[in-house]
Structure 1
Amino acid sequence: MSSGSDRLAALMARGTAFLGCDVAIMAGAMSWISERHLVSAMSNAGGFGVIACGAMTPALLDAEIAATQALTRRPFGVNLITMHPDLTALIDVCAARGVGHVVLAGGLPPAGSIERIKASGAKLICFAPALALAKKLIRSGVDALVIEGMEAGGHIGPVSTSVLAQEMLPHIAEAVPVFVAGGIGRGEAIAAYLEMGAAGVQLGTRFVCATECVAHPHFKKAFIRASARDAVASVQIDPRLPVIPVRALRNAGGDLFTAKQREVAQALDEGRVAMAEAQLQIEHYWAGALRRAVIEGDIEHGSLMAGQSVGMVTREEPLADILAQLTAEAGEALARRAA
């Protein structure tokens, strides 16, 4: 299959050069999950790990980066949320630690953040949920983009990966490296997106059951048992509340979240809370619910954020084995097409 693996290496060349790794597969940043152990395992296996900063303080992020650097000498990135109140300080922590790639997620980068990241010498990766936004980000100096479809786990947009890839890759793939994400669970899909012009891909759900992942055994068991149809998107009860749909495995926690929205909406109606406080309550609910599931193993009342590729997660295995399987499948698919 050397022709397939050679073709795979050629199609990934731009992505691997940009990331500084062997295989242009990024591990998507998942709160509580994408910490030093999973990130270093991903980078050591030849892929590209990304720390999920989430709601961490600058001091916590500093310690997490240092701990990751102690476990791997390979490149890895840090994912920062644009609405974090300490975003500037977090960017400075990444700069001081010599982080080579910063991923900004959760909306348009605030004024000055792009310049600050690039001034540190880091490469900047942003999420682009639509073509117009992608072009705007490219004009503003972003180095690479991730286009993620609604099959993904966690916070999602309304359009599927396959549609986004068709709509956007022909127009932006030459300008910057583009990584496709959302619902990818096998190498055949990776090969297809690379042939469409992607520089690489990003997967999250597929790596949750890596041996090195710190997620609770109950959390992993839920993934192994689940099928694609179990990963459902949450519903927004009230348009005033900032409920970006979240894809997670169906459980009692989802019903509790619906009830929480009703409670907060009623408090708004009765003037007991201000809009900013109501929105904060919703955000804090998710952060706490995810931690309960991932760290404490409460899979009934916690949030089991998972993408629709969860049905392709069938066992716990070392991360290097998952990566090897994905690249073998991609190489074999390309070899079949060449033949």
Structure 2
Amino acid sequence: MTSHPKTHALMARGAEFLGSEHAIMCGAMSWVSERNLVSAISNAGGFGVIACGAMTPELLDAEIAATRSMTDKPFGVNLITMHPQIMDLIDVCAKHAVTHVVLAGGLPPKGSVEAIKAGNSRNGGAKVICFAPTLALAKKLLRSGADAMVIEGMEAGGHIGPVSTSVLAQEFLPELSADHLVFVAGGIGRGEAIAGYLEMGAVGVQLGTRFAAATESIAHPDFKKAFFRAGARDAVASVQVDARLPVIPVRALKNKGTEAFTTKQREVAGLLDGEGIAMSEAQLQIEHYWAGALRRAVIDGDIENGSLMAGQSVGMVKKEEPVADIIASLLDESEAALTRR
């Protein structure tokens, strides 16, 4: 195995925290980050993360068990904070002695962080990783028990915030990196970028788009081909058409599905006008739309009408590669960049 001493030295805190060889996490991508991709990433020395999404506790139970049968390396589980059964999902993670739980989608509900950290007698509780869109919120989450943070810029695929990765890194890392563990995500496609964020104080990185088109990804061949054809400017953020609908922008490759979401928002806004549904139901309809649209693209290969969620790094994804090769090339590029310095 090629040695990457400079990169591994800067990743040491992150790798120790994750229990993996390399502090390279895979972003939790619904329908994509499942047993095959997650186990492949962990087996290659990275850190795979199961995307629970809208799974029931029973489905998550089966997915964790299946992943465990495919790897003896550490992996995590990503839970959406607004999931109506989040406490039951936390119990499932504890049952399987999952070592790391990633909370995404908003502020963790009361008692959830404590429940994750309590865990079970076998693992003494799991580590909690949170996302934070602002420095103030990051500090609050760390005070509330989060063990590590992921800062994710707007270049990422899927649900995004309004600020770029480079700006977030400049704002968060000088303030937090000395005393806390911070991973950087969003728009990372090559090792040179990894080297830069590590030098700024990050303990590791998270990538999604590069891994979505990996050989081990179960994504439909047509879904992957759409990535290979796309450039950075093809990955666009969705538009909010009604200020009353708290729609988090989603970055995806532009297609008929992108236009259909605008229509869906107008439809839901019309129901709100007629007081046919409550605001919470309106939000739920939007989220269900995305889940269905993403499944159509990833599983069914409907690249015209489904949602092709991708980050702006998609322009650097040119071919299907095994996960191990992707990780090796990222490490090689990072090491070369650090050596040139």
TM-score range, shorter chain: over 0.9
Question: 1-side partners of 2:296 and 2:229: how far apart?
Answer: 19
- Superposed CA RMSD in Å reads 1.2
C-alpha contact (below 8 Å) 1:4/1:335 kept by paired residues: no
Please state if 1:13 is matched with 2:12: yes
Query: 1:247 aligns to what SS in structure 2?
Result: strand
Amino acid of the residue matched to residue 309 of structure 1? S
Residue number in structure 2 paired with 1:135:
139
Tell me the TM-score normalised to structure 1 length: 0.98
Amino acid of the residue matched to residue 196 of structure 1? M
Residue number in structure 1 paired with 2:54:
55
Query: 2:308 aligns to what SS in structure 1?
Result: coil
Residue number in structure 2 paired with 1:219:
223
The correspondence of residues 1-339 of structure 1 with structure 2, limited to 5 A, is 5-120=4-119, 121-337=125-341
Deviations 1:74-117 (A, max 9, x none): 00000000000000000000000010000000111111001100
When structure 1 is superposed on structure 2, of 276-285 and 145-154 the one drifting more is 276-285
Structure 2: tracts of 5 or more residues without a match: 120-124
Query: 2:252 aligns to what SS in structure 1?
Result: strand
Deviations 1:100-143 (A, max 9, x none): 00000011111100110011110000001110001101111110
C-alpha contact (below 8 Å) 1:5/1:328 kept by paired residues: yes
Question: 2-side partners of 1:172 and 1:263: how far apart?
Answer: 43
Query: 2:309 aligns to what SS in structure 1?
Result: coil
Question: 2-side partners of 1:140 and 1:328: how far apart?
Answer: 37
Deviation at 1:4, TM superposition (A): 8.2
Amino acid of the residue matched to residue 107 of structure 1? G
Question: 2-side partners of 1:4 and 1:61: how far apart?
Answer: 36
Question: 1-side partners of 2:215 and 2:328: how far apart?
Answer: 15
Deviation at 1:267, TM superposition (A): 1.6
C-alpha contact (below 8 Å) 1:3/1:335 kept by paired residues: no
Question: 1-side partners of 2:278 and 2:44: how far apart?
Answer: 48
Deviations 1:213-245 (A, max 9, x none): 000001000001000000000000111112100
C-alpha contact (below 8 Å) 1:179/1:201 kept by paired residues: yes
Q: How many residues align?
A: 336
Q: Identity of counterpart residues, as a percentage?
A: 75
Amino acid of the residue matched to residue 70 of structure 1? S
Deviation at 1:269, TM superposition (A): 1.0
Amino acid of the residue matched to residue 155 of structure 1? H
Amino acid of the residue matched to residue 279 of structure 2? M
Question: 2-side partners of 1:61 and 1:90: how far apart?
Answer: 7
Deviation at 1:173, TM superposition (A): 1.0
Question: 2-side partners of 1:182 and 1:333: how far apart?
Answer: 19
Query: 1:301 aligns to what SS in structure 2?
Result: coil
Deviations 1:21-70 (A, max 9, x none): 11110000000000000000000000000000000000000000000000
Question: 1-side partners of 2:340 and 2:234: how far apart?
Answer: 33
Deviation at 1:208, TM superposition (A): 1.1
Amino acid of the residue matched to residue 226 of structure 2? A
Deviation at 1:272, TM superposition (A): 2.4
Deviation at 1:268, TM superposition (A): 1.3
Amino acid of the residue matched to residue 90 of structure 1? L
Question: 1-side partners of 2:201 and 2:51: how far apart?
Answer: 27
C-alpha contact (below 8 Å) 1:4/1:332 kept by paired residues: no
C-alpha contact (below 8 Å) 1:36/1:67 kept by paired residues: yes
Amino acid of the residue matched to residue 276 of structure 2? R
Query: 1:146 aligns to what SS in structure 2?
Result: strand
Deviation at 1:3, TM superposition (A): 11
Question: 2-side partners of 1:311 and 1:108: how far apart?
Answer: 32
Query: 2:79 aligns to what SS in structure 1?
Result: strand
Which consecutive aligned stretches of 4+ in structure 1 deviate over 3 angstroms post-superposition? none
Query: 1:80 aligns to what SS in structure 2?
Result: strand
Amino acid of the residue matched to residue 27 of structure 1? C
